[in-house]
Amino acid sequence: MKRKKRRRRLGRPADEGAYVCPSCGEQIVIPLDRSQGAEQRYVEDCPVCCNPNVVSVEYDPAWESPRVSAVAE
């Protein structure tokens, strides 16, 4: 009996998100925690350039993945 090959899902795991640092332009991958609410905002230093960013995470059941963005503080 032949088994079907499973296709590996491309993309990011559901518990990770990414944004581009507004100061240095690097893509930053962050862990996500849905239990903190549908709309989250917090300050996090960029691990590359150390500048503070206000990170926004938004969840909506209609979206395939959460929206993650950042602006310089």
Please write the tens of the pLDDT for every residue from 24-43.
999 999 999 999 999 999 99
Please write the tens of the pLDDT for every residue from 40-73.
999 999 999 999 999 999 999 888 889 999 999 9
Phi/psi-derived region of residue 2, left when phi > 0, alpha when psi is between -120 and 50, beta in every other case? beta
Where are the alpha helices (H) located in the chain, listed in sequence order?
A: none
Domain ranges of the chain: 16-64
Q: What is the pLDDT of residue 47?
A: 97
* Burial class for 64, CB neighbours closer than 10 Å (0-12, 13-18, 19+): exposed
Q: Which residues, at least 6 apart from 34, have a Cβ–Cβ distance to it below 8 Å?
A: 59, 66
Q: What is the pLDDT of residue 13?
A: 61
Please write the tens of the pLDDT for every residue from 1-28.
566 555 444 455 668 999 999 999 999 9
* Burial class for 40, CB neighbours closer than 10 Å (0-12, 13-18, 19+): middle
